[in-house]
Amino acid sequence: MGAEQIRRWESGALAHAVSDPFGQGPLPWLRGSENYFDDTGQVVPWYADLARSTGGGTRTADDVHRQIKGFVSPGAAAPGEAIDFHITVDPPQQFSVDVYRIGHYGGDGASKITTSPRLSGIVQPPPLAADRTVSCHHWWMSWRLQIPSYWSVGAYVAVLTTADGYRSHIPFTVRHDHPADLLLLLPDITWQAYNLYPEDGRTGASLYHAWDERGRLLGEEDAAVTITFDRPYAGAGLPLHVGHAYDFIRWAERYGYDLAYADARDLHAGRVDPSRYRGLVFPGHDEYWSLPMRRAAERARDSGTSLVFLSANTMYWQVGLAPSASNEPDRLLTCRKRRGPGKSALWREVDRPEQQLLGIQYAGRVPEPHPLVVRNAEHWLWDSTGAVDGDEIPGLVAGEADRYFPRTSLPEHDNRILLAHSPYEDSEGATRHQETSLYQAPSGALVFASGTFAWSPALDRPGHTDRRIQRATANLLDRICKRD
C-alpha cells in the first residue's frame, strides 16, 4: 500500500478520534501477553502495516485489501442462542476465531474463552453501496457460534486470524434476563454511527463522513443518512470509543459488582425489563438514542431504577431503527440530522432536551484536557475521597463536556446537586464550564451524569486512573446497590 492510500484511510480515524483523547492503539481491551507493539516497544496504530514495520508477525487487516474482515448477526445473544459470523478472507485461506471475554482477569483485561476449529475462508463480494449506505448483508455465513449455557454474560471480542497472520476483531455481547444489581448497556448504536467502513478512500460512509471522487474526507453535510449493522467496523474491527465501556467493565468486575449486560438495541427493542435491576449503567459515549430507548430509560427512573451516565454528549441525536433487506430487525440506523424535510434530529430541538432526563446536557468539545474542579465536597459522593471544594482532578474534563442549562427545564426531582464546576477553553479560546450532576427522582431513583468523557477512563485506564473518581463511583454504585 502506498503512502497516499495510508494517509487517505488514516484520515478517517483521525477525523473521528479527535474527540477521544484516550486511544491506546488497536487493542484497548487486552493487556496480557498478546501485544501489538513494534520493535521499539511502541504501540503500533491500527492503520499501520505491521509486516512492513516489524518484518513479520501478526499484522492488522485493513479496509483496502480486506485480508480478513467480518461482522456478526445479531450483535447480542443469550446462552443457548447463536451468533452468526460473516467473514471475508483475501486471499482465500484458512482462519480461526479466538473468543475473549472482557473483564479484570488479574489485570489482563480479557480472558480467552474458546477457539473455533480451523475454518475455510472465502473472498466475499464487495460491499454494496446505495445513496451512501454501505452494506455487506449479502455475505455468506462463515461460522455459527452456539453460546453454551455455562458462558458468563458479558462483553466479548472475537479475534479473527488468517493462516498468514492477518488479524481483525468483532465485538459482541452475551446477555440474559436474570435479575442483577446493575445492567450495563453497551452503546452499539453510537459505535455504529461513527463507523466509516470501509475506510478505503472511496466507498465508506458514517453519519459523520464520506469520501469524494478524489479520496478526500467529506463532512456531515455529505455523510450517510442511513447506515447498517451489516458490515465490519473500520480498521482493526473495534469501534471508536469502545475502550470507555471496557474501562468500566474491568473496574466493576474487579470489585465484584453484580452485573448484567445488554446493548442499546436491546433497550430499544424492549428486551430490557428495568424492574430486574437496581440501576442501569451507560458506561461510554452514548450519543445516539431512539425514542423507545428514551421512553424505557424514563420509565425505569420513574419506577425507581437508578440511571448512571459515565460520559458526556449523551442522547444528543434522535435516531430510527428499521429491519434489514432480509427482514432482520434493527439492522438499519437512520439519523437525518439537519438535512432534508421534517424536524431536526436533535432532541433539544424537538422540545425534548437531554437535560430533562440527565439533569445536564451537552455543551461542546474540549480541545485540551482540563482539571475537574470539585464542588459540594461534603456530599456523600465525595466521601472518603479526600476531596475538598475547589480541588482539581487533572485531565478529568476531556473530549466533550456537559453542563447545566438554566433556561432549559429540569426533570422532576426531590433533590438535586452539582458536584463539579470546571472551567475549560473551547476551540475559540472562550471560557466554558463543565458540570457533574446528581438528582433524586420522586420515585427514589438516583440519576448521575458525569458530564465528561474522562470519567470511565479514570476507573481503569493506564495513565488516566484517579483514586478519587474510583472512590466516588464506588460510593454511587454502592448506594444504588445498597451495599455496605
How confident is residue 44, by pLDDT bands cut at 50, 70 and 90? Answer: very low
What per-residue confidence (pLDDT) applies to 30? Answer: 54
What's the pLDDT at 10? 41
What's the chain's Rg over C-alpha atoms?
22
Looking at the DSSP bridge assignments, the partners of residue 158 are 99, 170
pLDDT in tens, 106-160: 888 888 999 999 999 999 999 999 989 999 999 999 999 999 999 999 999 999 9
How many other C-beta atoms lie within 10 A of the C-beta of residue 422?
A: 24
Mean pLDDT taken over the chain: 88
373 has pLDDT over 90: yes
SS (H, E, C) the chain: CCHHHHHHHHHHHHHHHCCCCCCECECCCCCCCCCCECCCCCECCCCCCHHHHHCCCCEECCCCCCCEEEEEECCEECCCCEEEEEEEECCCCEEEEEEEEECCHHHCCEEEEEECCCEECCCCCCCEEECCEEECCCCCCCEEEECCCCCCCEEEEEEEEECCCEEEEEEEEECCCCCEEEEEEECHHHHHHCCCCCCCCCCCECCCCEECCCCCEECHHHCCCEEECCCCCCCCCCCCCHHHHHHHHHHHHHCCCCEEEEEHHHHHHCCCCHHHEEEEEECCCCCEEEHHHHHHHHHHHHCCCEEEECCCCCCCEEEEEECCCCCCCCCEEECCCCCCCCCCCEHHHHCCCCHHHHCCEEEEEEEEEEEEEECCCCCHHHCCCCCCCCCEEEEEEEEEEEECCCCCCCCCCCEEEEEEEEEEECCCCCEEEEEEEEEECCCCCEEEECCECCCCHHHHCCCCCCHHHHHHHHHHHHHHHCCC
Mean pLDDT of 339-358: 85
* For residue 43, pLDDT beyond 70: no
Q: What is the pLDDT of residue 142?
A: 98
- Confidence (pLDDT) at 338: 66
pLDDT at 221 over 80: yes
CA of residue 405 relative to chain centroid, distance: 26
Q: How would residue 428 be classed by pLDDT, with cut points 50, 70 and 90?
A: very high
Write the pLDDT tens digit of every residue in 5-31: 333 334 344 444 334 445 444 444 455
pLDDT number for residue 36: 36
Give per-residue pLDDT as tens, 384-418. Answer: 999 999 999 999 999 999 999 999 999 999 999 99
pLDDT digits (tens, 9 = 90+) for 55-96: 455 688 989 999 999 999 999 999 999 999 999 999 999 999
In the predicted structure, residue 1 carries a pLDDT above the cut 50:
no
More confident residue, 217 or 45: 217
pLDDT for res 235: 86
Tell whether the model's pLDDT for residue 52 goes beyond 50. Answer: no
Higher-confidence residue: 326 or 126?
Answer: 126
**Residue 440 clears pLDDT 90, i.e. is over it:** yes
pLDDT at 350: 87
Higher pLDDT, 36 or 240: 240
- Domains of the chain, with CATH numbers? 3-228 (2.60.40.1930), 273-316+354-481 (3.40.50)
In the chain, what percentage of residues exceed pLDDT 70?
86
Going by pLDDT thresholds of 50, 70 and 90, the confidence category of residue 343 is low
pLDDT at residue 340 tops 90: no
pLDDT in tens, 170-207: 999 999 989 999 999 999 999 999 999 998 888 999 99
Give the pLDDT band (50/70/90) at residue 218: confident
pLDDT in tens, 271-319: 999 999 999 999 999 999 999 999 999 999 999 999 999 999 999 999 9
Burial of 428 (C-beta count, 10 Å sphere; 0-12/13-18/19+): exposed
- pLDDT for 483 beyond 80: no
* pTM for the structure as a whole: 0.91
Query: In this predicted model, which residue has the larger pLDDT, 340 or 102?
Result: 102
